[in-house]
């Protein structure tokens, strides 16, 4: 009997699932031309003499229209993703090629436009300049580079050392060496690197899901096709995309009993962004196998560590960046955000102390709350590594990343994408799946509310109005239709994202770490 997707003509599939999201992506692209960050002087394509309509979108009424395009486009992409999810979750779409086609169509309009939602991509460029000039990005901020602000760097990162690994610094240096002072081509190159990460995720997340007994199409839809990937990996161009692509590829190879090559890929992910270090203990558990005794686990941990350290030393030696990244790991924490629970608690306690006349002790309280949170995180992650019984190593890694994010000193929206692809591939119960869907919707909403964070053309009061409009538009897009509402809040996810048949259950059970009786 033919599957449901083959009963659905290609044209009907495109009209239902490709075109609405494509229209939303085109609207996002148009909006990015207006409110995305462009360092002065603008690239030739964006100069008034070349394309006057661009200048109109970046000033006056045009900038408001661009903002409207971003809000409406983001809401349409979110709604299109939910509509696609209904058919995927019901088993009507099982062809990965169709889902890859949807992803490609939605990404294509975003590739050549200015970055939106973040200016980190410009920091990558100027850090490459810094490294190419012979300075050490682990001890020197980009403020030492002439014209750093004109190159687009957000001032909050001007004096902080880079928190990235040596492989990423090498790539940044290569981009600058290739394109010189052409900031725009440099930005497009970094977006291309992020796109490589998305392609790796699109290929390896379904494979990792299958190995864990999870539906590959459902994992691809949830983990890679979600709007946060489009907004924060493709449009913003964050290097987290390449890190996650390499990490997932490495995990797949370890699961497929090619541990050395897998560890090398995981180490490459660490050399992009060191947070991937967290995966190494769980890689060792995967290599040891679910029925390994303690001695075998320790042996695999040691072997994993030796392979990773030696390869990392090799990368550092070739790049010439040294090991200053260890001291620079705290750089993101220098920016305080209310999204981080420990930081929010410290700031709230500081504010309360001021209100009752105890003075301003916010900085000291932040040190206390962050330190305590770090100790708790270390304890939780240690237990997940040392007491893995009853869950798969993949599930342990997801919980470890979640712990580090929630108890870390800072929080950025794209950190969610450290977890979502892995969680989709390792399985989610009913409540966890519903929570993940709500997190994607909420993260999309928050990102759209922050549209003007990359543009200096709006007043605070206008931002407040825009945020209210954004909330109204997104809520309208996802709850007015019973189908989308049922996926987020109803019974569409009542079975969770778990093994669906006996072979899948067998693959999942084979990865669950067993308690080995003592001899």
H helix and E strand count, the chain: 24, 0
**Best CA proximity match to 183, nearest among 30, 43, 35:** 43
pLDDT at position 103 is 97
**Low-confidence residues of the chain: pLDDT under 70:** 1-8, 40-52, 322-336, 451-470, 477-486, 488-494, 517-519
pLDDT at position 493 is 66
pLDDT at position 456 is 43
**Under a CB-based contact definition with an 8 Å cutoff, are residues 83 and 483 in contact?**
yes
pTM beyond cutoff 0.75? yes
Element (H, E) at 190: helix 183-211
| Residue 428 DSSP label | B
**Under a CB-based contact definition with an 8 Å cutoff, are residues 253 and 304 in contact?**
no
Helix extents (H) in 90-152: 96-107, 120-132
pLDDT at position 99 is 96
C-alpha 372/C-alpha 366 separation (Å) is: 10
**Under a CB-based contact definition with an 8 Å cutoff, are residues 343 and 409 in contact?**
yes
C-alpha 242/C-alpha 475 separation (Å) is: 31
- Within 13 Å, how many C-alpha atoms sit on residue 153's CB side? 25
Q: Which SS3 state, helix, strand or coil, does residue 336 take? A: coil
Q: Is the peptide bond before 241 cis (omega within 30 degrees of 0)?
A: no
Token representation of residue 342: 């420990």
pLDDT at position 2 is 44
Roughly how many angstroms between the first and final C-alpha of the chain, as a whole number? 52
Token representation of residue 51: 């394309």
C-alpha 77/C-alpha 105 separation (Å) is: 12
Domain boundaries, the chain: 4-335+410-511
**Best CA proximity match to 138, nearest among 130, 148, 146:** 130
C-alpha 56/C-alpha 325 separation (Å) is: 43
C-alpha 287/C-alpha 293 separation (Å) is: 12
C-alpha 306/C-alpha 75 separation (Å) is: 47
pLDDT at position 51 is 60
pLDDT at position 503 is 93
Can you say whether the dihedral through the CA atoms of 383, 387, 390, 392 is positive or negative? positive
pLDDT at position 43 is 58
Helix extents (H) in 332-490: 341-355, 362-386, 393-407, 420-426, 430-449, 460-479, 482-489
pLDDT at position 378 is 94
**Best CA proximity match to 329, nearest among 410, 241, 422:** 410
């Amino acid at each position: 009997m033919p599957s449901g997707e083959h009963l659905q003509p290609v044209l009907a599939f495109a009209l239902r699932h490709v075109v609405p999201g494509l229209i939303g992506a085109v609207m996002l692209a148009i909006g990015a031309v207006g409110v995305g960050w462009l360092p002065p002087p603008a690239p030739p394509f964006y100069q008034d003499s070349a394309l006057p309509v661009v200048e109109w979108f970046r000033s006056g009424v045009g900038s408001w229209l661009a903002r409207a395009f971003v809000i409406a486009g983001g809401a349409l992409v979110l709604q299109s993703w939910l509509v696609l999810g209904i058919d995927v979750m019901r088993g009507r779409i099982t062809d990965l090629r169709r889902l890859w086609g949807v992803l490609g169509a939605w990404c294509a309009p975003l590739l050549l436009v200015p970055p939106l939602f973040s200016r980190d991509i410009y920091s990558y460029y100027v850090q490459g300049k810094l490294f190419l000039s012979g300075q050490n990005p682990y001890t020197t901020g980009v403020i030492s580079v002439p014209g750093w602000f004109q190159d687009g760097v957000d001032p909050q990162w001007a004096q902080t050392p880079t928190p990235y690994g040596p492989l990423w610094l090498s790539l940044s240096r290569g981009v600058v060496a290739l394109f010189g002072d052409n900031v725009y081509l440099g930005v497009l190159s970094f977006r291309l690197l992020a796109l490589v990460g998305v392609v790796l995720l699109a290929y390896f997340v379904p494979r990792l899901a299958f190995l864990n007994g999870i539906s590959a199409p459902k994992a691809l839809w949830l983990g890679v096709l979600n709007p946060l990937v489009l907004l924060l990996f493709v449009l913003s161009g964050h290097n987290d995309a390449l890190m996650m692509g390499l990490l997932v590829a490495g995990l797949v190879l370890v699961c497929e009993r090619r541990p050395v090559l897998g560890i090398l890929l995981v180490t490459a992910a660490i050399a992009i962004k060191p947070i991937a270090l967290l995966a190494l203990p769980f890689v060792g558990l995967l290599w040891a196998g679910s029925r390994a005794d303690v001695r075998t686990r320790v042996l695999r941990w040691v072997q994993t560590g030796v392979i990773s350290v030696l390869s990392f030393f090799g990368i550092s030696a070739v790049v010439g960046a040294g090991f200053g990244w260890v001291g620079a790991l705290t750089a993101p924490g220098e920016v305080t955000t209310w999204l981080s629970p420990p930081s929010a608690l410290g700031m709230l306690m500081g504010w309360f102390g001021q209100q009752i006349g105890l003075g301003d002790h916010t900085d000291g309280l932040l040190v206390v709350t962050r330190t305590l949170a770090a100790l708790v995180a270390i304890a939780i992650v240690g237990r997940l590594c040392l007491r893995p019984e009853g869950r798969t190593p993949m599930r342990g890694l997801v919980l470890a990343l979640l712990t580090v994010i929630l108890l870390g000193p800072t929080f950025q929206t794209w950190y969610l994408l450290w977890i979502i692809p892995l969680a989709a591939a390792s399985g989610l119960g009913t409540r966890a799946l519903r929570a993940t869907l709500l997190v994607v919707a909420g993260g999309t909403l928050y990102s759209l509310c922050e549209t003007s964070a990359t543009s200096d053309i709006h007043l605070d009061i206008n931002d407040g109005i825009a945020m209210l409009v954004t909330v109204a538009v997104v809520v309208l897009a996802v709850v007015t239709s019973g189908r989308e509402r049922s996926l987020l809040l109803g019974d569409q996810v009542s079975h969770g994202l778990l093994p669906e048949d006996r072979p899948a259950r067998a693959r999942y059970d084979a990865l669950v770490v067993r308690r080995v009786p003592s001899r």
